[in-house]
């Protein structure tokens, strides 16, 4: 059904297995029939490299409205929350199956800078597997609107004094009658300025035990007067959605607690692990987008009277990328299948072997993507550095993702620990 052109030389090489083909075809069909024509019709807001940002560097309302529309259309088609279990309204896909979905979205939906295509699939703003732990009443209030794509969320873990070391979080939660009062400063919060719901990690003041046992996760309606959006965090990705968040005597009812006091850290890690598990598919999709761009350019661009792709110096980075894509695809799909067989993202007690898999699956594909993006810029020459060339943005994304959801060094630290090196 998908009519995107496949490069003849590669057909069959990066095959999608038969059991996943139907859902991947639906995703590609949605991008082709809904997203790309929509971007075309609303080109004013995605036409230029920075046309989607306002004067403060935040997403323009028009761009947000476009993303919201794509998100809701995707949710209506049952594509937005494919990663969640069916009992909470998701598509019930395994992580291995999600690999192929992510790959398709990032390969075919990377044409514009506005993130409109990417909005079809739940990302940081979407319903995370951590929220499966809500009870029925909580689900109806908080999770259902996220699954339906009607609302968005943000996750507030990082603080000025707590990044890699999550246990250093100093935002406090104090009991107040049957509710809680939150106070603290959060930093680098994706979708912080625009979310409807914030998932806030805090330290419970009167709980006993070491720091990691005293944490709790709270849901905050961002219209709560105690939720303040701080300064935008302008960053390498120019995403327009990242900011400081301040909690100032932010009172929430008792039923805004997710799970129990003490669940905060595993819940936060459940959210983080969700992002880690998506990296192999994301990197494979972006890698294939880069490979498409490199192949096309190397065949069409001429220098010294012949296509640049006739030179070995131009062929080899393309060859290496095509080869390494196999490594990431095989590693990603096999290790995610093994993770699926072992546990699930919503399991708060992750076996060490599962944590190790996710850490390996985060850092290695990200490192490869960084090299692929660097090579793509080199193959495209000056055009590769231009916004119009379509690859410098992937380079910035590739550089970025090696820090959020646990920096590369933290992944290696986790892997080393599971190998008995501590």
Ligand X SMILES: Cc1cc2nc3c(=O)[nH]c(=O)nc-3n(C[C@H](O)[C@H](O)[C@H](O)COP(=O)(O)OP(=O)(O)OC[C@H]3O[C@@H](n4cnc5c(N)ncnc54)[C@H](O)[C@@H]3O)c2cc1C
Q: How many helices (H) and strands (E) does the chain have?
A: 11, 10
Q: Give the nearer residue to ligand X in terms of CB position, either 230 or 381.
A: 230
Taking CB under 6 A as the rule, does residue 171 contact ligand X? Answer: no
In whole angstroms, the minimum distance from the beta carbon of 45 to ligand X comes to 22
Q: Give the nearer residue to ligand X in terms of CB position, either 60 or 413.
A: 413
Q: Are 200 and 156 in contact (CB under 8 A)?
A: yes
Among 15, 33, 164, 300, binds ligand X (CB under 6 A): 164
**Which of 348, 351, 338, 359 minimizes the C-alpha distance to 132?**
348
In whole angstroms, the minimum distance from the beta carbon of 397 to ligand X comes to 10
Stretches 47-55, 66-74, 184-192, 207-215: which one binds ligand X (CB under 6 A)? 184-192
Distances (CA, A) of 204 to 35, 106, 215, 255, 388: 44, 39, 6, 15, 49
Among 124, 128, 346, 414, binds ligand X (CB under 6 A): 124
Stretches 46-54, 158-166, 273-281, 324-332: which one binds ligand X (CB under 6 A)? 158-166
**What is the enclosing helix (H) or strand (E) of 416?**
helix 408-418
Stretches 62-70, 78-86, 151-159, 221-229: which one binds ligand X (CB under 6 A)? 151-159
In whole angstroms, the minimum distance from the beta carbon of 394 to ligand X comes to 15
Parallel, antiparallel, or unpaired for β 242-253 and 227-232?
antiparallel
Taking CB under 6 A as the rule, does residue 413 contact ligand X? Answer: yes
Cα separation, 46 vs 281, in Å, equals: 25
In whole angstroms, the minimum distance from the beta carbon of 233 to ligand X comes to 7
Taking CB under 6 A as the rule, does residue 398 contact ligand X? Answer: no
Q: Give the nearer residue to ligand X in terms of CB position, either 31 or 157.
A: 157
**Which of 155, 74, 154 minimizes the C-alpha distance to 121?**
74
| Tokens found for residue 342 | 């072992």
Count of residues in contact with ligand X, rule CB under 6 A = 23
Cα separation, 16 vs 303, in Å, equals: 36
Among 67, 152, 171, 190, binds ligand X (CB under 6 A): 190
Taking CB under 6 A as the rule, does residue 135 contact ligand X? Answer: no
Stretches 80-88, 129-137, 289-297, 408-416: which one binds ligand X (CB under 6 A)? 408-416
Angle among Cα 418, 419, 420 to the nearest 5 degrees reads 90
**What is the enclosing helix (H) or strand (E) of 293?**
helix 264-300
Q: Which 251-290 residues touch ligand X, going by CB under 6 A?
A: none
Stretches 150-158, 279-287, 353-361, 386-394: which one binds ligand X (CB under 6 A)? 150-158
Cα separation, 131 vs 137, in Å, equals: 12
Cα separation, 301 vs 290, in Å, equals: 16
Cα separation, 148 vs 397, in Å, equals: 27
SS3 of residue 218 by DSSP: strand
Taking CB under 6 A as the rule, does residue 411 contact ligand X? Answer: no
Q: Give the nearer residue to ligand X in terms of CB position, either 23 or 373.
A: 373
Q: Are 293 and 391 in contact (CB under 8 A)?
A: yes
Work out the end-to-end distance of the chain between its first and last CA atoms, rounded to an integer number of angstroms.
Answer: 52
Among 56, 409, 416, 419, binds ligand X (CB under 6 A): 409
Taking CB under 6 A as the rule, does residue 189 contact ligand X? Answer: yes
Taking CB under 6 A as the rule, does residue 163 contact ligand X? Answer: yes
List interacting residues with ligand X (CB under 6 A).
Answer: 124, 154-158, 163-164, 188-190, 235, 237, 242, 400, 403-407, 409-410, 413
């Amino acid at each position: 059904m998908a009519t995107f052109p496949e490069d003849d030389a590669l057909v069959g090489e990066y095959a999608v297995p038969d059991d996943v083909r139907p859902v991947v075809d639906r995703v590609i069909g949605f991008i082709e029939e809904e997203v790309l024509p929509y971007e075309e019709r609303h080109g004013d807001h995605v036409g230029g490299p920075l046309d989607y940002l306002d004067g403060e560097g935040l997403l323009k309302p028009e761009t947000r409205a476009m993303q919201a529309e794509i998100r809701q259309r995707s949710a209506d088609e049952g594509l937005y929350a494919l990663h969640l279990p069916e009992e909470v309204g998701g598509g019930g896909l395994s992580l291995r199956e999600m690999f192929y979905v992510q790959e398709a979205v990032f390969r075919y939906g990377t044409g514009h800078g506005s993130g409109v295509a990417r909005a079809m699939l739940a990302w940081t703003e979407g319903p995370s597997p951590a929220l499966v732990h809500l009870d029925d009443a909580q689900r109806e209030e908080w999770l259902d609107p996220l699954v339906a794509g009607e609302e968005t969320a943000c996750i507030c873990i990082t603080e000025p004094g707590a990044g890699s070391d999550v246990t250093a979080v100093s935002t406090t939660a104090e009991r107040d009658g049957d509710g809680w009062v939150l106070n603290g400063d959060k930093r680098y919060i994706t979708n912080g300025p625009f979310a409807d719901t914030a998932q806030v990690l805090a330290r419970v003041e009167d709980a006993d035990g070491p720091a990691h046992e005293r944490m709790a996760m709270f849901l905050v309606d961002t219209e709560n007067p105690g939720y303040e959006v701080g300064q935008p965090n302008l960053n390498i990705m120019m995403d327009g959605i990242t900011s400081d968040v301040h909690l100032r005597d932010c009172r929430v009812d008792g039923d805004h607690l997710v799970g129990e006091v003490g669940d905060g850290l595993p819940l936060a890690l459940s959210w983080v692990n969700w992002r880690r598990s998506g990296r192999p598919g994301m990197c494979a999709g972006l890698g294939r987008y880069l490979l498409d761009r490199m192949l096309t350019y190397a065949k069409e661009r001429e220098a010294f009277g012949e296509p640049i792709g006739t030179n070995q110096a131009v062929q080899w980075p393309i060859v290496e990328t095509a080869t390494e894509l196999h490594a990431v695809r095989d590693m990603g799909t096999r290790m995610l299948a093994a993770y699926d067989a072992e546990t699930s993202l919503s399991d708060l007690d992750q076996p060490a072997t599962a944590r190790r898999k996710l850490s390996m699956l985060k850092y290695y594909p990200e490192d490869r993507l960084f090299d692929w993006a660097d090579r793509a810029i080199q193959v495209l020459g000056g055009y590769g550095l231009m916004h119009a060339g379509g690859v410098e943005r992937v380079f910035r994304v590739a550089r970025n993702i090696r820090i959020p959801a646990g920096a590369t060094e933290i992944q290696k630290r986790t892997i080393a620990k599971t190998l008995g090196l501590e």
